[in-house]
C-alpha cells in the first residue's frame, strides 16, 4: 500500500511494521508488561464523546495555539523519543525538520540518537529539550548547560522513570547493550533489506548526548544509571526551577496532588503522560486522569497531554477535558517508519486534516473555544441535552 493510500495513523503503523525488523519495531511499538496501559490509552479516548452543534459558520477554521509566547500552527507537537534512529535511520532529524516546516514544537529527548545541538539547529526555534535527571549530578548539570547554550527556551523534565519500564517484547527480543547481532536479528534484517541497507549507511545508533560516557557501558543497568535516578525528588525539582531560567515543564504527571505541587513550585506547565504506556501496565489512561488534574490546576499552569493520540478528534477530546496542547509520540514516529520524510509528512497531514475536519463537524470555528460544553451529556445522564 502506498503512502497516499494510508488513511490513518494505524495504516502507517502497519506499513512501518512491514518495513522494519521486529526487534526495532517492537522497541517503539511496545508497552510495559502485558501492555494493558498501552491499549487503554487509545481505548479510553474512544469513550469520550463530543456532541456536534450545527448551523454554525465553520467556513473559516482556526487551529492556532499560542504557548509560552510562541504561536504554533496546530495544537500538537512531537513528543521526545529516545533512540528513534534504531526504528528508522535519521528519524530524529527528519522529525525535527518536519516540526520546523509545519511550525509545531519538537521535543528533543535526552536519550535521542542525535545530539541536542544538532536537533536544536534542525528544529530552528521550535525545539524544546527533555531532561532525564541522572543519578550523577554532573551529568544533569552538563546537559542543562548544553541545552542553554544551544538556545532551547523550554525544558521538559521527565518524572515518570524512577525505574526503567519492564517491556516484555524487548526481553523476548533479547535487546542488549552493546547491541548484539544474534542469528535471529541477522535474519530479521535480511527480511527487511531497505531498513538494513539504510541503517548500515547511517551506522549503529547510540544515545548521542551521552556518547562519551557510555562507551564503557556493558549492560542496560549501566545505561540506566546514567540516564535516570530513583532518587529524583521534589527538592531536586525545586533546585531545577531555580537553575533553569526558561520555561519549565514536568512530564509524566498523573496524580492531581503532584500537579498541585508543580504549580506551587512555579512550574510553567505539566505534561499529563504515562510515557505512552511504557512505564507501568497498571496506571490510568491520561485522558481519564486529565479532568481531576485540570480542576486542581485551575489555569495556573499550561496542561499538555500525551499518550494514545492516534486521531485528530483525540486532540479535541483532550481540549474539552482541560488540556491546552497535546503531543503525539508514536503517531508521528510511525510515519517515519512507514516512509522516511514523506511518511512523516503524511502522518502530520493525517492528524492535521482529521483535526480540522473534526473541528468543523463539531461546530466550533476556533480550537481555542473547544471546552466542557462540547462534552456529550448523553453518556453521563442517559438523556440528551435539552
Among 75, 276, 322, 339, binds ligand FMN (CB under 6 A): 276
* Contact between 158 and ligand FMN per CB under 6 A: yes
Among 12, 79, 93, 350, binds ligand FMN (CB under 6 A): 79
Distance, C-alpha 127 to centroid of its chain: 13
10 Å Cβ neighbour count for 160?
20
* Contact between 331 and ligand FMN per CB under 6 A: yes
Peptide bond into 129 cis (omega under 30): no
Rounded CA-CA distance 222/229 in Å is: 12
Least distance in angstroms from the C-beta of 342 to ligand FMN = 21
Beta-bridge partner residues of 303:
270
Among 75, 77, 80, 340, binds ligand FMN (CB under 6 A): 80
Cell 505541587 found at: 261
* Contact between 167 and ligand FMN per CB under 6 A: no
* Contact between 21 and ligand FMN per CB under 6 A: no
Select which of 202, 255, 275, 386 is catalytic: 275
Query: Which residues does 12 contact at the CB level (< 8 Å), separation at least 6?
Result: 3, 6, 334, 335, 337, 338, 339, 343, 346, 347, 350
Least distance in angstroms from the C-beta of 12 to ligand FMN = 13
Least distance in angstroms from the C-beta of 307 to ligand FMN = 4
* Contact between 28 and ligand FMN per CB under 6 A: yes
Among 224, 226, 307, 352, binds ligand FMN (CB under 6 A): 307
* Contact between 278 and ligand FMN per CB under 6 A: yes
255 is an active site residue? no
Among 114, 130, 209, 352, binds ligand FMN (CB under 6 A): 130
What SS3 class is residue 78? strand
Residue span 230-259 as binding mask against ligand FMN, x where in contact by CB under 6 A, dash where not: ---------------------x--------
Beta-bridge partner residues of 366:
62
Beta-bridge partner residues of 77:
327
Least distance in angstroms from the C-beta of 51 to ligand FMN = 26
Query: Which residues does 57 contact at the CB level (< 8 Å), separation at least 6?
Result: 365
Among 114, 229, 273, 352, binds ligand FMN (CB under 6 A): 273
DSSP states of 283-320: S--HHHHHHHHHHHHTTSSEEEE-SS--SHHHHHHHHH
What SS3 class is residue 385? coil
193-202 and 183-190 are packed helices; what angle lies between their axes, rounded to 10 degrees? 110
Least distance in angstroms from the C-beta of 38 to ligand FMN = 7
Helix, strand, coil: what percent of the chain each, to 5? Answer: 50, 10, 40
Q: Name which of 100 and 278 has its Cβ closer to ligand FMN.
A: 278
* Pair 174, 180: CB distance under 8 Å: yes
Least distance in angstroms from the C-beta of 59 to ligand FMN = 32
* Contact between 109 and ligand FMN per CB under 6 A: yes
* Contact between 111 and ligand FMN per CB under 6 A: yes
Q: Which residues bind ligand FMN (CB under 6 A)?
A: 27-28, 41, 79-82, 109, 111, 130, 158, 251, 273, 275-276, 278, 306-309, 328-331
- Catalytic residue numbers read 275
Amino acid at each position: 500500500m502506498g503512502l497516499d493510500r494510508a488513511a490513518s495513523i494505524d495504516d502507517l503503523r502497519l506499513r512501518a511494521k512491514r518495513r522494519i525488523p521486529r526487534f526495532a519495531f517492537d522497541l517503539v511499538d511496545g508497552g510495559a508488561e502485558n501492555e494493558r496501559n498501552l491499549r487503554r490509552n487509545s481505548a479510553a479516548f474512544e469513550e469520550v464523546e463530543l456532541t456536534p452543534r450545527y448551523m454554525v459558520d465553520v467556513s473559516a477554521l482556526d487551529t492556532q495555539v499560542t504557548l509560552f509566547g510562541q504561536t504554533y500552527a496546530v495544537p500538537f507537537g512531537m513528543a521526545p523519543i529516545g533512540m528513534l534512529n534504531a526504528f528508522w535511520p535519521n528519524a530524529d532529524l527528519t522529525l525535527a525538520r518536519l516540526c520546523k516546516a509545519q511550525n509545531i514544537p519538537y521535543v528533543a529527548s535526552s536519550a535521542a540518537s542525535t545530539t541536542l545541538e544538532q536537533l536544536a539547529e534542525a528544529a530552528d526555534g521550535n525545539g524544546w529539550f527533555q531532561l532525564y535527571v541522572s543519578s550523577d549530578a554532573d551529568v544533569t548539570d552538563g546537559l542543562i548547560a548544553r541545552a542553554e547554550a544551544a538556545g532551547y527556551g523550554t525544558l521538559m523534565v521527565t518524572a515518570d522513570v524512577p525505574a526503567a519500564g519492564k517491556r516484555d517484547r524487548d526481553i523476548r527480543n533479547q535487546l542488549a547493550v552493546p547491541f548484539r547481532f544474534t542469528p535471529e536479528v541477522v535474519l530479521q534484517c535480511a527480511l527487511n533489506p531497505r531498513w538494513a541497507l539504510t541503517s548500515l549507511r547511517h551506522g549503529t545508533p547510540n544515545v548521542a548526548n551521552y556518547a562519551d560516557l557510555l562507551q564503557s557501558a556493558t549492560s542496560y543497568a549501566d545505561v540506566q544509571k546514567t540516564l535516570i535516578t530513583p532518587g529524583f525528588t521534589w527538592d531536586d525539582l525545586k533546585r531545577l526551577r531555580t537553575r533553569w531560567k526558561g520555561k519549565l515543564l514536568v512530564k509524566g504527571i498523573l496524580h492531581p496532588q503532584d500537579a498541585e505541587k508543580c504549580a506551587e513550585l512555579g512550574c510553567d506547565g505539566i505534561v499529563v503522560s504515562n510515557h505512552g504506556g511504557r512505564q507501568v501496565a497498571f496506571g490510568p489512561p491520561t485522558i481519564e486522569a486529565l479532568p481531576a488534574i485540570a480542576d486542581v490546576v485551575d489555569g495556573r499552569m499550561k496542561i499538555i497531554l500525551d499518550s494514545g493520540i492516534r486521531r485528530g478528534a483525540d486532540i479535541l477530546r483532550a481540549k474539552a477535558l482541560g488540556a491546552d496542547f497535546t503531543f503525539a509520540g508514536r503517531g508521528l514516529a510511525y510515519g517515519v517508519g512507514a516512509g522516511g520524510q514523506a511518511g512523516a509528512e503524511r502522518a502530520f497531514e493525517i492528524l492535521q486534516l482529521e483535526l480540522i475536519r473534526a473541528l468543523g463537524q463539531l461546530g466550533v470555528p476556533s480550537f481555542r473555544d473547544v471546552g466542557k460544553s462540547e462534552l456529550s451529556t448523553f453518556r453521563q445522564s442517559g438523556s440528551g441535552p435539552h
